[in-house]
Structure 1
Amino acid sequence: MNEMNTELAEFVAASAGRLGVPGVAVGVTVGGREDFACHGVTSVVNPLPVDRDTMFVVGSVSKTYTATALLRLVAEGRVELDAPVRRYVPEFAPADAATDEITVSRLLNHTAGLEWKLGVDTGEGDDALARHAVKLAEARLIAEPGGRASYSQAGFNLAGRVVENVTGSTFERAVASLLFEPLGLTHSCYSVDDVMTRRFAVGHNVDADGVLAVARQWKDNRANNPGGGVATSVRDLLRWARFHLGDGRTEAGERILPAELLHRMREQTVELRGSTLGDALGICWFLREVNGVATIGHGGSGNGQFADLLIVPERDFAVAVTSNAGPDAGLAFNRTVVKWVLEHYLGVVERDPEPLPYDVARAGEIVGHYENEMMRLTLDTDGARLTIECAIKPEIRAAAVTDLPPDLPPATLGLLAGDADEYIVTEGGLQGQRGFFTRDDSAAVTGIDLAGRLFARVR
């Protein structure tokens, strides 16, 4: 083990212990060298040591696979990025004529105007995505297609249905054929039946007594596989990163994407405002400049599991982090490790902006409730500080047949200089999260963006 790998292992173990995360796996690749640091156990109930092949649910990191699989179909001339989605998914037939403007490319950069997520389980059969597309056609648009970016799990699930209809295969089988098999991602899959024969981590959440307990829903339902269903290992995540650092060929030299199309995923398609996720979106990837260095990346969350993948193309570098406790512990662990790795491997230091002092008038403008299909945000003030509380809507929690992740407690939020409507969360599991408020033509606050998602104000 080299000296840097030793330092990484010590930092990972200390951070996991301090934050109370049962099991973590971290991988770094730089200039062709790989360093790994794995610590802890897969489960507090049935513990096995976490290693570099332990499989974690990586949530929305899955979107990078869906987007890349679609680009393979583009390269083969089977899909056009600027074509309306309904060309490939006729069952997605909303009544609104504006949906003709929902193109494949707008699904892949979150500008289709679709809701974040549907609170609908369409089953575990091979028709899950087809049924999801029909349900999505009934949902309202939250913005005009192409008008703005708003993160949409539902949009990526619809992109997965494009893959199914074009290939004539199930989405899971298509991605295995298009990506997992040629790239040698032997510890990457979607099906619980495939995972259960390997070593895998389970999620953990804090129970009513403040004790970590196993999260009983291991992963989301099948219709959410394109947007969040991949289970993979940190070793496979680094292999995936190396593919995106390359020229579209596998390690064996087989070309599966033209280099220019692969690298097009890193090019800006839409600018983001005041977002922790990035300064802009490419094709799926979040583009973010950290201390003058260009990065691409994606994070993901499941029920008590968290993942981050950050790539620095100009330095031939990537870091992958997986953890199995939430919500506060896993989020904090991943963020802490990514920042440490950037600083100690590349000398890149990331600093959060300082919020402004509390302003009574500005606080009065924004306190209240904000909602999307699944979640409710409550902004409040005690007269000395602003707080933000993030919760699953009660009706969603009541209808769930399995346990859902716990709500996040109120955390301090500060407004930022330079733009009166941008903010940063300064504590708790959302610490470091940045976003902004939107206003109507009369300058009244009508919404808030958090983690790239639009929440509309509830009057």
Structure 2
Amino acid sequence: MNLCTRLTGACAVTLLMAACADSEPVGDLVPTQWVELKAGLEQALPADATGYVFGLIDGDRIAVRTAGGDLRIDSIVPIASATKAPSAAAILTLVDAEQLDLDRPVADYLGDVVDWPALKQPITMRMLLNHTSGLAPEPGCLDENVTTTLVECVQQIADAPLRFTPGRQFQYGGGSYQVAGLVAERISGKPWERFFATALGEPLGLRDYHFLGDANPRIAGGAVSSLDDYLRILQMFMNDGVHGGRRLLSEEMVALIRSDQIAGLQKRGTPLDRDLYPGYAFGWWFSDPALHPGSPGPEFSDPGALGTVPWIDLGRDYGAVVLLVDGPQAGLDLWNTLRPLILRGLDEAPA
């Protein structure tokens, strides 16, 4: 594996913004049906944005692959919180394998590697993956992925005060996912990147999806991806946990992922409008139906702080992702612009 696909160190930012120099250019796939979508994407892109990469899945096929600005279709970009849904899915494979119980105290899996306080004993994996644990949402160790280990980061999280009684509220962040990642390491006996590759990366054929920071990878927000890799992830979620004829998540697990895990809970510290995105489950936000007129939904999304937004609309059987290196509002604005254009394109599809 060359440096282009394993991005670490000081050169990461430069490499993330462009495709690897030794790769062959990949052409756009924009059929006539989707020309209006491409034009809308170009017009809505912020003037100061580096560029974009976009892909659309229509049913069981990739319908659009395109890029603009300084990015190419095979560019590898940091996806920030769009990492959450894939990370959660990898961990949920352990539940399917009956190696992990979502409602068992995580302390049972940590052993003596972390001094886990009695006050935090009720915290379960379900709470960790749905931001209802009460743990510090953004501990400082999330940004210490070279000098701090994952175990040390989890110990810092364990030592920090609880924000609320576990299971009683929702507060979005990355702290809980660090603990979940360490649990996955302990159960699998593999470091996080190797675990993720075994659980999802290799079965999906991912080539460019990796986590920055070997010692303390940011489980909830530290991945980089190419368009093709993320489209494979979306295809698995859309196809009820199956990819390439291989089942990676059980039907029961897929149904759980599509079931709101925070209904009735007080929401605090949420980056999205809590009325427009009222539900959440294992990395996916649930949209209010008013956001996508023309589709019965449900619609799920996993927006990232740098602008990447993947989403799935089961009502119209499509999935899409826009990869950006800009900011969260740019990604959300593009998403809102593209939704009606996608629905119009689907309506115009040949019978």
| 1:224-275 deviations in Å (ceiling 9; x for gaps) | 5211111001222121111001132222x12222122123101111126551
2:281 corresponds to 1:282: yes
| 1:377-431 deviations in Å (ceiling 9; x for gaps) | xxxxxxxxxxxxxxxxxxxxxxxxxxxxxxxxxxxxxxxxxxxxxxxxxxxxxxx
- Give the Å deviation of 1:15: 2.4
2:135 corresponds to 1:106: no
Task: Say if 1:8 and 1:37, in contact at 8 Å, map to a contact too.
Answer: no
Q: Matched residues in 2 for 1:159 and 1:30: separation?
A: 33
Which residue number corresponds to residue 309 of structure 2? 308
- Give the Å deviation of 1:176: 0.8
Runs of 4+ in 1 over 6 A off after TM superposition: none
Structure number with higher helix proportion: 2
Which residue number corresponds to residue 430 of structure 1? none
Which residue number corresponds to residue 158 of structure 1? 179
| Letter matched to residue 239 of structure 2 | G
| Letter matched to residue 188 of structure 1 | Y
- Give the Å deviation of 1:180: 0.8
- Give the Å deviation of 1:62: 1.0
CA RMSD of aligned residues (A): 2.2
Segments of structure 1 that go 5 or more residues without pairing to the other structure are 42-49, 192-219, 349-459
- Give the Å deviation of 1:59: 0.7
| Letter matched to residue 60 of structure 1 | S
Q: Give the one of 20, 26, 39 matched to 2:54.
A: 26
- Give the Å deviation of 1:184: 1.3
| Letter matched to residue 2 of structure 1 | P
Over 3 Å counting, the alpha-carbon distance change for 1:314 and 1:306 in structure 2 is: same
Q: Give the one of 243, 246, 249 matched to 1:257.
A: 249
Aligned residues: 301
Q: Matched residues in 2 for 1:221 and 1:60: separation?
A: 18
2:37 corresponds to 1:8: yes
2:36 corresponds to 1:36: no
Over 3 Å counting, the alpha-carbon distance change for 1:89 and 1:320 in structure 2 is: same
Give the greater-gyration-radius structure (CA): 1
Over 3 Å counting, the alpha-carbon distance change for 1:33 and 1:264 in structure 2 is: same
2:108 corresponds to 1:87: yes
Structure number with higher strand proportion: 1
| 1:324-376 deviations in Å (ceiling 9; x for gaps) | 23xxxx3343122211221122269xxxxxxxxxxxxxxxxxxxxxxxxxxxx
Task: Say if 1:98 and 1:145, in contact at 8 Å, map to a contact too.
Answer: no
Over 3 Å counting, the alpha-carbon distance change for 1:37 and 1:277 in structure 2 is: farther
Which residue number corresponds to residue 338 of structure 1? 335
Alignment of 1:163-242 (within 5 A): 163-191=184-212, 223-242=216-235
Query: What TM-score, normalized to structure 2?
Result: 0.80
Q: Matched residues in 2 for 1:308 and 1:222: separation?
A: 27
Alignment of 1:319-334 (within 5 A): 319-325=320-326, 330-334=327-331
2:302 corresponds to 1:298: yes
Over 3 Å counting, the alpha-carbon distance change for 1:19 and 1:277 in structure 2 is: farther
Which residue number corresponds to residue 118 of structure 1? 139
Task: Say if 1:9 and 1:36, in contact at 8 Å, map to a contact too.
Answer: no
Which residue number corresponds to residue 428 of structure 1? none
Task: Say if 1:188 and 1:231, in contact at 8 Å, map to a contact too.
Answer: yes
- Give the Å deviation of 1:117: 1.0
Which one scores higher on RCO, CA 8 angstroms, separation ≥ 6?
2
Q: Matched residues in 1 for 2:338 and 2:246: separation?
A: 31
Q: Matched residues in 2 for 1:129 and 1:321: separation?
A: 30
Task: Say if 1:248 and 1:257, in contact at 8 Å, map to a contact too.
Answer: yes
Q: Matched residues in 2 for 1:289 and 1:124: separation?
A: 40
Q: Give the one of 259, 266, 277 matched to 1:267.
A: 259
| Letter matched to residue 283 of structure 2 | C
Task: Say if 2:298 and 2:315, in contact at 8 Å, map to a contact too.
Answer: yes
Q: Matched residues in 1 for 2:171 and 2:307: separation?
A: 21
- % identical equivalent positions: 25
Over 3 Å counting, the alpha-carbon distance change for 1:14 and 1:347 in structure 2 is: closer
2:241 corresponds to 1:248: yes
- SS of corresponding position for 2:236: helix
- Give the Å deviation of 1:107: 0.3
Query: What TM-score, normalized to structure 1?
Result: 0.62
Task: Say if 1:26 and 1:321, in contact at 8 Å, map to a contact too.
Answer: yes
Task: Say if 1:285 and 1:297, in contact at 8 Å, map to a contact too.
Answer: yes
Task: Say if 1:84 and 1:101, in contact at 8 Å, map to a contact too.
Answer: yes
